[in-house]
A and B are shown apart, each in its own frame.
Chain A
């Protein structure tokens, strides 16, 4: 059973204005046209904006990538598998030989090797690792994307503020983007069947002018009704329609062919590579959070073959993304996180597979306020347990929030009940923050 130390007793129905606090007000004034590519790099955008507009790309390695074949190799141990560890550009830090490109870029990246998250079940672990805590029966927490959409998105944003790619079908329903108690306003734009959002394009049977004026007419007709009535749902409907035209204008952000061939070649032809490139386009245009789901790492059989196939792709795409962001001067503003629902067992089964393992696994954070080249957490010689600097889902999230300049102790209100971004008492890992 989930236990938590702060389950209060809400007495009132929810009041959106109360729990949304002053969000809108703070961010509405940023009026740059974020639909323009690379708006942040353009001279018209002031430095303050550049400084405050942090964004996150989450590379979600669904199914559970192996820490031993990526960021916490144990070469020579009976559990180590066949792959060697290689030196990186950070003295003393070794990673799997399957990641030679990242090995040259570890100075930008922090590895957390001490994740102990207790849960080895795909569905519920995915829910936990997307939220930094377990849902309570009474409270559905918003996930990372929804919190960042809420904290870093703008009320009048012309771009979506939470986009998630998950094209493979395995595990997709276990880890949908979910705004929890923040509600549909912060629900993600989910891209599953195509890299192109549904309903973003005007239908052929209406002209652009008519589409716009039809929308104006709608607003006009609604005015009379809205006067004298207040409800959070009512406001949300109006906000949703107000954002339609802006989001339609961001359509081209999803079109990878808009990118120079040179850049596309750099990322490579795989689906994960293309989606990561689109993610880069999106954050560049001001989308606060993009998750690129890459399934399915669940290597119960043939763990080494699976990782031999999939890790080089991760290595290449992640390294390219780091280079690309760096070239664009965005690495201080965009954070790249790699995360799964759990890692994989050190023990190797008869099918040369590794099974679910949540007791000692790894995640990485790159960019923004994170200390590149740092390693936090240590596992034992065989990788069976964390022996120092253990991290749970909560402290991982607190660290992400803190690095983005968001106070992890900040409260949302569900009714009268204060709900902090992370459970009380949980701290960010100061050692990896700049």
Chain B
């Protein structure tokens, strides 16, 4: 079945939130979502309810930056370096793992739900058994310091659709593609434009790879972030996406951005691979659709918040975006 045309995108619902939502996980084929927020809390909510009132589940010790759902197990991670495992059926905590020495940036689940992956600023990508919580792999492919002797950060991680590949992307624009089974690196790609080091004017940096997504066939890897920034006090670089043939590390297409400024925090492909969608923002946000084969932007839509994450349904008919003080639902088709 062909994916719906991005031209049909229209806003459907919009909820205001007092907190910043950094991560969302949606239970397949339902309206149940789990949210990781700036008040250190993880919530569950029903998008179809007459009044959207997310219910608090439990609390981290810092910002919750990633939530992932593996079957009925919810795993969340945050700046406290911890992973909290939660049984969504029983409504109780399974375990807490001191997963990383530094701030966790993202938590994802494998498509088959057997694995959980967390990344953090200790520059480690850790693969966990979703059932037992045991560490399966500790993948180290990113340098702890930038070339300028400042701490680096590891922001982005994604699985391929078949679950065989993982990709991780860091602050300086370095991407590693991993063989999940072997726990070995397969290839690297470089997207240095995503990292702006201002060595003279302000002497620090901004940017980094903030999102990754494999094409449905697993051959291409989309990388999201922000182009070079003049004044790094602000997120004023253009929202940027590059697509790689990850096996050769060759950049196939670049979308340097012509409409919106800010970071591309999340990327996803249409199930049939016909388009790629990215979302993110600065003071405000955006949803942008690309035709990768034709190397052109299809639709670029303003969103009233800086988007930190979204969930797209398997049929690509609905996108739930979360971010700065808001949650927004768009429909397609």
Contacts and interface: CB of A to CB of B under 8 A. Distances in A.
Interface string B166-200: 00000000000000000000000000000000001
A78 B205 CA distance: 26
B262 interface: yes
Q: Which of B232, B236, B284: most chain A Cβ within 10 A?
A: B232
Given A82-B62, A351-B306, A301 B234 contact: yes
B203 A271 contact: yes
Contact of A349 (B80, B202, B205, B283): B283
Interface stretch (A306-314, A377-385, A393-401): A306-314
B39 interface: yes
Contacts of A349: 283
Given A305-B153, A351-B262, A351-B283, A168 B200 contact: yes
A105 B61 CA distance: 25
A330 B306 CA distance: 50
B287 interface: no
Contacts of A300: 233-234
A268 B153 CA distance: 20
Interface stretch (A3-11, A223-231, A246-254, A291-299): A291-299
A429 to B, nearest CB: 32
A309 B153 CA distance: 9
Contact of B203 (A75, A81, A296): A296
Nearest to A301: B235
B195 to A, nearest CB: 12
A398 B252 CA distance: 63
B103 A82 contact: yes
A351 B235 contact: yes
Interface string A162-194: 000001111000000000000000000000000
B122 interface: no
Contact of A309 (B79, B150, B235, B325): B150
B79 A301 contact: no
Nearest to B171: A305
Nearest to B19: A78
A83 interface: yes
A348 B306 CA distance: 12
B201 A169 contact: yes
Contacts of A352: 20, 306
Interface residues of B, number: 41
Given A168-B203, A296-B233, A351-B283, A78 B62 contact: no
B151 interface: yes
Given A82-B62, A309-B151, A350-B324, A296 B282 contact: no
A272 B306 CA distance: 33
Contacts of A298: 202, 233
Interface in A298-347: 298-302, 305-306, 308-310, 312-313
A84 B102 CA distance: 11
Contacts, number: 100
Contact of B201 (A168, A310, A313, A351): A168
A222 interface: no
Contacts of A271: 203
Interface in B130-168: 148-151, 153
B104 to A, nearest CB: 10
Given A82-B103, A301-B233, A350-B283, A309 B204 contact: yes
Contact of A82 (B79, B305, B324): B79
Nearest to A172: B201
Nearest to B283: A350
Interface in B267-292: 281-284
Contacts of A63: 202, 233
Given A170-B201, A302-B206, A308 B151 contact: yes
A270 interface: yes
Q: Which of B121, B151, B206, B233: most chain A Cβ within 10 A?
A: B233
B85 interface: no
Contact of A268 (B62, B79, B149, B234): B149
B239 to A, nearest CB: 13
Interface of B: 18-20, 38-40, 61-63, 78-80, 103, 121, 148-151, 153, 200-206, 208, 232-236, 262, 281-284, 305-306, 324-325
18 contacts: A75-B62, A82-B63, A82-B78, A84-B80, A169-B200, A270-B148, A296-B202, A298-B233, A300-B233, A300-B234, A301-B206, A301-B234, A308-B153, A309-B204, A348-B20, A350-B281, A350-B282, A351-B283
Interface of A: 63, 75-76, 78, 81-84, 167-170, 268-272, 294-296, 298-302, 305-306, 308-310, 312-313, 348-353
